[in-house]
Amino acid sequence: MPHRSLLRTAGIGFFPLGFLARLPYAASALSSLLLLQASTHSYGFAGLACAAQSIAIAVGGPLVGALADRHGHRTTGIVAGGANIAAWALLLITSHGSRGSMLAAAVLVGLTQPQVGPLVRVHWSRLLSHGQDNQLPAALSYEASVDELSFVVGPALVGLLASLSPLAPATI
């Protein structure tokens, strides 16, 4: 089975880490929506801020890719992750401030969103480029499944955390 050989190639720790690292990406828009709606009592503003955040993710993606090409995918992923944590902290801090500061913080969350899926696929491509019995299709198949699973588990986790507090999903 090709997936067993992937375990030997990447190491067992790579798989849960790759899944867990995707959860914030899958949960960020819903988390922001719940947080900002609870802060402003306006779904309109929360939706606007989430739309701006999503556009910022699309704008930031190529930048993250260019940085990964220049500095390596691991370094870029770690730096983007740290920057994203700081941006989320800023969003939490500004969630009781002005709408302009909340909107700016939401955009910053989007711009710093780590592009885990593409970075991991690049990692697989480099890891398996040296004649590993054509394991790349199996690796990319696994990655597609994990991406989809994260978009099921992430929002479900947000829903569970939101039952505790509107701030709780922002901790994902």
Residue pLDDT, tens place only, 97-136: 999 999 999 999 999 999 999 999 988 988 887 765 688 8
Q: Where are the alpha helices (DSSP H) in the chain?
A: 2-10, 14-40, 43-71, 73-94, 99-111, 116-127, 136-162
Q: What is the tens place of the pLDDT at every residue in 3-27?
A: 778 888 888 999 999 999 999 888 9
**Size (the chain), residues:** 172
Is 151 part of a structural domain of the chain?
yes
> The whole model's pTM is what?
0.89
The pLDDT of residue 170 is: 73
Task: Output DSSP code: residue 97.
Answer: S
The pLDDT of residue 99 is: 98
Is 6 part of a structural domain of the chain?
no
Q: Is the separation of the CB atoms in 53 and 107 below 8 Å?
A: yes
Q: Is the separation of the CB atoms in 124 and 143 below 8 Å?
A: yes
Is 3 part of a structural domain of the chain?
no
Is 8 part of a structural domain of the chain?
no
Q: Is the separation of the CB atoms in 166 and 34 below 8 Å?
A: yes
pLDDT of residue 67 exceeding 60, the answer is yes
Is 21 part of a structural domain of the chain?
no
Span of 21-30, 35-44, 52-61 with lowest mean pLDDT: 21-30
Is 12 part of a structural domain of the chain?
no
Structurally, how many domains does the chain consist of?
1
Is 38 part of a structural domain of the chain?
yes
Neighbours of 130 (CB within 10 A): 6
Is 4 part of a structural domain of the chain?
no
Q: What are phi and psi of 129, to 5 degrees?
A: -75, -10
Say which amino acid occupies 150: S
Domain holding 158, by residue range, is 30-171
